């Protein structure tokens, strides 16, 4: 079985499990779990924030951030395809009474600065109060350039808005930037976050921990966030078991994300060769390039069901969604590489595709 559905399917390594077993524990709601406290201090120091908070999931850490930044009736600017708007069950509206203002993406995954500027509401009782600009980095596996991150932060500061980064795969973005200029991934991650009011980071995606996400910000921000975490049911007790896995991930799994990126590029190249050499797919499929650990493969709807069944029959797990591209409905197959996907898995997946 080769599981490309998501980097959330990873299993803890033996060393990570041992770290969990060895973790000293306390009651985190009382602030007394030493492993949780160490994790939060480690993450804050790595990314240049004053404080951090461990939450059970990225959905909850994002929701806590939105509800800390915004009051009922406030507005948050988001992307149409970003998790905070599309993939988190409408939590900001349902639970936070926050109005999302979704904006369309550019081809590189960014939102045009002019569109952000135009979406900011005037101070008028007719409108929701624009309070927050939220970015996602990576977005669909694409890395938002550092220059763009600075421009959005400067725009928000000029307009008196707060800023949040959904950095579920922040370290994938950092590793990609570091590879481009032979830099250090941790320093790159810190640079991505510079000037932003808050960031959430998933420990349970590419970093390979079984559970958990971190929210980072100022001490005052995290103090308010802790109250909201309790309100939302995220206050855990001896959660040092989780924190120990997160610490191991931050200390040992950041640099190895580069291996996932190599495998994703090999997969994208292999899928592209399959399209070019297979008459059945000519003009009916396209394999997109990979910047990080996510590869998209678009295939004509008429072929998609048979292809997906072929993959399932050959024990290759993927996810898919319907896309409207250039006046044509396509099925977009999503492949995600991670620490439990080997080069051999990639080679086998390409062979299975070629046999279709």
pLDDT beyond 80 at 55: yes
pLDDT beyond 90 at 292: yes
Which residue's entry shows tokens 């390594």?
Answer: 13
Burial of 290 (0-12, 13-18, 19+ CB in 10 A): buried
pLDDT band at residue 302 using 50, 70 and 90 as cut-offs: confident
Q: What pTM value is reported for the model?
A: 0.96
- Count of other CB atoms within 10 angstroms of residue 24: 11
Model confidence over 64-83: pLDDT tens digits? 999 999 999 999 999 999 99
- Cα–chain-centroid distance for residue 19? 25
pLDDT beyond 80 at 280: no
207, β-bridge pairs: none
pLDDT beyond 80 at 327: no
Residues belonging to the chain: 356
- Which pLDDT does position 181 carry in this prediction? 83
Model confidence over 121-175: pLDDT tens digits? 999 999 999 999 999 999 999 999 999 999 999 999 999 999 999 999 999 999 9
Domains of the chain with bracketed CATH: 10-252 (3.40.640.10), 257-354 (3.90.1150.10)
pLDDT, average across residues 343-354: 97
């Amino acid at each position: 079985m080769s599981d490309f559905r998501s980097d959330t399917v990873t299993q803890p390594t033996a060393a990570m499990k041992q770290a969990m077993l060895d973790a000293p524990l306390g009651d985190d709601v009382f602030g007394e779990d030493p492993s949780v406290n160490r994790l939060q201090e480690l993450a804050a120091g790595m990314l240049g924030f004053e404080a951090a908070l461990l939450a059970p999931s990225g959905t909850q850490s994002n929701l806590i951030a939105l509800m800390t930044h915004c009051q009922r009736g406030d507005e948050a600017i988001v992307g149409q395809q970003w998790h905070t708007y599309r993939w988190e069950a409408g939590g900001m509206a349902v639970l936070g009474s926050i109005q999302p203002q979704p904006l369309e993406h550019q081809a590189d995954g960014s939102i045009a600065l002019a569109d952000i500027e135009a979406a900011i509401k005037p101070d008028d009782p007719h409108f929701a109060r624009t309070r927050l600009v939220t970015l996602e980095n990576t977005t669909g596996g694409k890395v938002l350039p550092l220059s763009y991150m600075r421009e959005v932060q400067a725009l928000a500061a000029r307009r008196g808005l707060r800023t949040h980064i959904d950095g579920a795969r922040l370290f994938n973005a950092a590793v990609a930037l570091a590879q481009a200029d032979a830099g250090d991934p941790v320093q790159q991650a810190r640079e991505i976050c510079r000037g932003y009011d808050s960031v959430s980071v998933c420990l349970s995606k590419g970093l390979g921990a079984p559970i958990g996400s971190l929210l980072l910000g100022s001490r005052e921000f995290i103090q308010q966030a802790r109250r909201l975490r309790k309100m939302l049911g995220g206050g855990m007790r001896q959660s040092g078991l989780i924190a120990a896995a997160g610490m191991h991930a931050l200390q040992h799994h950041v640099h190895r994300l580069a291996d996932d990126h190599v495998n994703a590029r090999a997969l994208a190249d292999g899928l592209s060769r399959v399209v070019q050499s297979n008459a059945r797919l000519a003009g009916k499929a396209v394999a997109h390039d990979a910047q990080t650990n996510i590869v998209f493969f678009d295939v004509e709807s008429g072929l998609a069901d048979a292809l997906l069944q072929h993959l399932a029959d050959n024990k290759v797990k993927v996810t898919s969604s319907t896309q409207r591209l250039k006046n044509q409905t396509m099925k977009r197959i999503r492949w995600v590489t991670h620490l439990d996907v080997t080069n051999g898995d990639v080679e086998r997946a390409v062979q299975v595709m070629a046999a279709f």
